[in-house]
């Protein structure tokens, strides 16, 4: 598996990511040709060899003649329309959409509003759009199958943005970095920009130490500021040298979900059946009931549900209405899922749906449980026998 490993020596920004990838061997002509299919501009890609504390690096920037939307920002739909109207490959478009959708959800959480209402200011400008699309194109041109990254440095002080001064890192950046390891640099200055946080948090399969790899190329991207450490981002391109299969960040789909939970110690177990039914009907993807022990050693049940963000109020409301709990805890999580397909096959026992997915080049297939139950009931046979018999009718991989 061909991988990229980023080392955030001095931090990361959109242009530092692009500069490091260009320095590592991305063909500039091919990159520019793809970027020019995005209906924005006019613009010029400028690159300069520079040194940051005696480390040679490539600084890249987009010189934008005029961006009419830069003042008031673009909505997510505006940005996605630009991506869809471009000549990028379907894979490149998908990655760019995922990055901006993740960014939109982070902004919505920070501002307490709907995703559709978010205005992208700095990250909606043409240079940020080109940085994000450029990273997706560069990964594709290099044949990168998985991205890894070191822990991320966080500076001190405040950051001046469109709406004023904010703590460092700014709220949207901090939200994007949830789940990623960070550390205090000890000095003031923005070390990880929102654009870089969006690219890395969406694309990286694993944060932390360098994975076992055989390095073929190394690139350095330079930042604009000067810090006590070299303000460069290093990327190593090579082959993963470990036996266990790795799920690439490019092979799965990503979305934001809400998790609702309540701990219940005063409800008849029989009443959970209807509660589960109603919570699923309210829009939950899945539910779980887990035995737990509360204070004073009271036995209880942890009732949990995962649902799409837009179903948060309905699912939480159903849990409050259908159980004896007085409160429901809610948190937002990100979820990675394998793209799947569903096909219907005909068998002597009737039609059966089959779910299929691929991970690390290997296929997975599952017979739809509801169909197995239906057939088992109609034939008065154990479901295990039905499942075993129907395996013979699965089409070849």
Residue 246, in any domain of the structure: no
* Residues in contact with 304: Cβ distance below 8 Å, sequence separation at least 6, in sequence order: 259, 260, 261, 262, 287, 288, 289, 290
Can you tell me the distance from the alpha carbon of 84 to that of 62, in angstroms, rounded to the nearest whole number?
21
Same domain, 75 and 96: yes
Q: Is the pLDDT of residue 71 over 60?
A: no
Mean pLDDT within 259-264: 96
The stretch 33-44 carries a mean pLDDT of 92
Average pLDDT over residues 100-121: 80
Alpha-carbon distance of 27 to 5, in angstroms, equals 19
Higher pLDDT: 338 or 202? It is 202
Domain-embedded: residue 89? yes
Q: Collapsing DSSP states into helix, strand and coil, what is residue 229?
A: coil
| Segments forming the whole domain that contains residue 319 | 253-336
**Per-residue pLDDT band at 123 (split at 50, 70, 90):** low
- Is 326 exposed, middle or buried, given 0-12, 13-18 or 19+ CB atoms closer than 10 A? exposed
User: In the listed set 240, 263, 285, which residue is the last one of a domain according to the structure?
Assistant: 240
CA angle, residues 132, 194, 148, in degrees to nearest 5:
65
* Secondary structure of residue 86 in the 3-state scheme: coil
Pair (109, 20) in one structural domain: yes
Whether the predicted model's global pTM rises above the 0.95 cut: no
Query: What's the pLDDT score for residue 148?
Result: 95
Is residue 245 domain-resident? no
**Low-confidence winner among 139-143, 159-163, 330-334 (lowest mean pLDDT):** 159-163
- Tell me how far the alpha carbon of residue 276 is from its chain's centroid: 29
Can you tell me the mean pLDDT for 113-137? Answer: 81
Domain boundary among 303, 318, 336: 336
Q: Does 382 score more than 70 pLDDT?
A: yes
Of the listed ranges 139-148, 213-222, 297-306, 358-367, the least confidently predicted one is 358-367
pLDDT digits (tens, 9 = 90+) for 284-311: 999 999 999 998 899 999 999 999 888 8
Higher pLDDT, 14 or 109: 14
CATH number of domain containing 264: 3.30.70.1380
Tell me the average pLDDT across 52-76: 80
**Helix (H, G, I), strand (E, B), or coil: what is residue 253?**
strand
- Tell me which of 105 and 230 has the higher pLDDT: 230
- Answer whether residue 91 is part of any domain: yes
Number of domains in the chain: 3
Based on the domain organization, do 36 and 108 belong to the same domain? yes
In 282-368, where does DSSP find H-type helix?
A: 312-322
């Amino acid at each position: 598996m061909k991988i990229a490993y980023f080392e955030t020596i001095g931090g990361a920004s959109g242009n530092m990511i692009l500069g490091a990838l260009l320095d590592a061997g991305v063909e500039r002509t091919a990159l520019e040709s793809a970027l020019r299919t995005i209906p924005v501009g006019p613009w010029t890609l400028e690159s300069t060899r520079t040194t940051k504390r005696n480390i040679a690096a490539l600084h890249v920037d987009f010189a934008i003649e005029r961006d009419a939307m830069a003042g008031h920002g673009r909505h997510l739909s505006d940005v996605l329309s630009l991506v869809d109207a471009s000549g990028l490959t379907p894979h490149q478009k998908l990655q760019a959409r995922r990055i901006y959708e993740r960014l939109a959800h982070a902004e919505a959480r920070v501002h307490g509003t709907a995703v559709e209402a978010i205005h992208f200011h700095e990250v909606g400008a043409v240079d940020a759009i080109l940085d994000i699309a450029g990273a997706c194109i560069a990964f594709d041109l290099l044949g990168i199958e998985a991205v890894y990254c070191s822990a991320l440095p966080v500076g001190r002080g405040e950051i001046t943005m469109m709406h004023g001064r904010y703590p460092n890192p700014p709220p949207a950046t901090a939200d994007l970095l949830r789940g990623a390891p960070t550390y205090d640099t000890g000095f003031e200055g923005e070390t990880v920009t929102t654009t870089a946080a969006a690219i890395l948090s969406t694309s990286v399969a694993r944060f932390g130490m360098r994975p076992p790899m055989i390095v073929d190329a190394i690139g350095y991207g330079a930042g604009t500021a000067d810090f006590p450490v070299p303000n460069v981002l290093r990327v190593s391109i090579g082959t993963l040298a470990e036996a266990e299969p790795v799920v690439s960040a490019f092979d799965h789909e990503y979305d934001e979900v809400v998790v609702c939970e309540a701990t219940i110690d005063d409800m008849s177990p029989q009443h959970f059946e209807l509660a589960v039914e109603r919570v699923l009907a309210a829009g939950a993807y899945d539910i779980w009931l887990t035995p737990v022990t509360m204070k004073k050693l009271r036995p209880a049940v942890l009732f949990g549900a995962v649902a799409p963000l837009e179903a948060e109020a309905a699912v939480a409301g159903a849990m409050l209405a259908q159980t004896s709990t007085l409160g429901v805890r809610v948190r937002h999580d990100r979820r990675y899922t394998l793209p799947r397909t569903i096909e219907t096959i005909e068998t002597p026992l009737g039609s059966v749906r089959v779910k299929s997915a691929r991970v690390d080049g290997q296929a997975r297939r599952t017979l739809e449980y509801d169909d197995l139950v239906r057939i088992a009931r109609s034939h008065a046979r154990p479901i295990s026998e039905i499942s075993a018999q129907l395996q013979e009718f699965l089409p070849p991989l």
